[in-house]
Structure 1
């Protein structure tokens, strides 16, 4: 007898790898659960992990394109928010499908990271073009998406590179373990959560309010980056340090 959709969801729930203790709250407690439901449906439909990555990209970049093509409005903000939220959930689903099917591969991981790298830059730049094209904010506010593009890109690259270097040296990141009060760390990281950024587009019809909230998220991202980069550098520098000499 074939496995039911609910059986697949339950299997994913029990087999899903633990979230990093530093994962922001929306990504950890909401997005992973939505992704699990989508992954079960994709598995039942026979989609491969790379096809699920493609579905994620279609949703995400459709939302990004709308920011360039149409002027800000309440309905546009809701549509963009839904597309970005679904794109993010499908992004979580591809890895879960890979674990279900046993078809995970370095090429699939590469594709997933390339799509993510593109979206974190394309989203603020598309927002910049839309705000400039439709003249909805004062010129100084256009600096906000530019700063967001730079900070988000550097943060994504630094996080991925640091984790890959740790793996190459056989080091498990402390962020991958539970730690004390992991939920508190997740809540504190909310301002840097991509999922929260997606939700802010519900405010896009009130452009002034939206840009203010988007500006606060950008400031939080920059502050997080300024705190994280020195730590990541120290962690990576320690990977190449010679092991202490043992007792003679």
Structure 2
């Protein structure tokens, strides 16, 4: 092999490694993200790193594009809707880029995690408002707001639990450095240290995030017992066999976290916009994605109960990875 060819191949290997390092984990990545959003996000992240843009700035910009997309779904002109679809795809590319940029530059923060989660909520609040108003223009009564609001709350819970289970999986396979897993006890302590007079903005954000985390914990009681047992017994240094076993048993559940998040719902939303039946999106969220959410939570609780029993019965040694 010539020296030049070796240099080219080494350059490709370094580029591929840098891209892979910008991902959270192949276990938790959806295929459409790996093929489409992550490569685009990676290029955006490289550009932002060159000009010194922070991950939080990228997240805030994504909010404007996502909200603008939602506004354009109010109109019944398909060409305007298509522009909205492109804006929403770009917003999600930015949402991918902010996390990749944070990992590339090691610029991670609690505020960044909160903003990243809130960005999608802003997009879909705009989308739900637009579809409700659009439906009323098409002859629906004000009752359309009932499924619109129910679907909105469903979306919040679906996204929250999917994000939580992904971070639990990352915690078990990568440890605290590879996960953004939080708990309400630590968050409450941090919240209590802030004052309304001196830290009004951050305390308000911390209060909302604390409530968000408590909701995640309330939906996963067996998982909380498992995490408490892990923390008490292993002090964060997990036995190698526990990591292997948990990954094997829990990885199949990651596909459900993908289904209830962005890609599936948006593909169907675009379909119903193309046939001018946007209102179907609400009922899809309520009657299709919610049962998947329930199944996902139920199966995750079974996995958590399984490993909790193994830990309390002392089936794992303290040998660390």
CA spacing shift, 1:112–1:190, aligned 2, 3 Å: closer
TM-score scaled to structure 1, two decimals?
0.72
Distance 1:236 1:64 in 2: 38
Distance 1:173 1:125 in 2: 43
User: Is the contact made by 1:43 and 1:97 (CA closer than 8 Å) also made in structure 2?
Assistant: yes
User: Is the contact made by 1:9 and 1:37 (CA closer than 8 Å) also made in structure 2?
Assistant: no
1:43 aligns with 2:49: yes
Distance 2:120 2:34 in 1: 17
Distance 1:218 1:29 in 2: 29
Cα RMSD after superposing both structures: 4.1
User: Is the contact made by 2:158 and 2:260 (CA closer than 8 Å) also made in structure 1?
Assistant: no
Q: Please, which moves more after superposition, 109-118 or 50-59?
A: 109-118
1:158 aligns with 2:227: no
Deviation of the 1:131 alpha carbon: 2.0
Q: Which residue of 1 aligns with 2:35?
A: 29
> Unmatched 5+ residue regions in structure 2?
1-11, 169-180, 184-222, 316-321
CA spacing shift, 1:17–1:191, aligned 2, 3 Å: closer
CA spacing shift, 1:117–1:213, aligned 2, 3 Å: closer
Where do residues 122-161 of structure 1 align in structure 2 (5 Å cutoff)? Answer: 122-132=126-136, 134-135=137-138, 144-161=147-164
User: Is the contact made by 1:56 and 1:88 (CA closer than 8 Å) also made in structure 2?
Assistant: yes
CA spacing shift, 1:220–1:76, aligned 2, 3 Å: same
Distance 1:152 1:173 in 2: 31
Deviation of the 1:156 alpha carbon: 1.6
CA spacing shift, 1:125–1:238, aligned 2, 3 Å: farther
Q: Could you tell me which of 13, 22, 42 is aligned with 2:19?
A: 13
Q: Which residue of 2 aligns with 1:222?
A: 290
Distance 1:40 1:177 in 2: 31
Number of residue equivalences: 235
Secondary structure, aligned partner of 1:94? helix
TM-score scaled to structure 2, two decimals?
0.58
Deviation of the 1:51 alpha carbon: 0.9
* CA distances 1:148-196 after superposition (whole Å, capped 9, x unpaired): 323211112223445335778447999x9588997xx75x877535134
Secondary structure, aligned partner of 1:204? helix
Where do residues 50-89 of structure 1 align in structure 2 (5 Å cutoff)? Answer: 50-67=56-73, 70-89=74-93
> Unmatched 5+ residue regions in structure 1?
1-5
User: Is the contact made by 2:41 and 2:97 (CA closer than 8 Å) also made in structure 1?
Assistant: yes
Q: Which residue of 2 aligns with 1:232?
A: 300
* CA distances 1:69-123 after superposition (whole Å, capped 9, x unpaired): x422211210110111111110010011112222112221122122234434443
CA spacing shift, 1:7–1:130, aligned 2, 3 Å: farther
Q: Please, which moves more after superposition, 122-131 or 28-37?
A: 122-131
User: Higher Cα Rg: structure 1 or 2?
Assistant: 2
Q: Could you tell me which of 198, 212, 229 is aligned with 2:266?
A: 198
Distance 2:38 2:275 in 1: 29
Secondary structure, aligned partner of 1:207? coil
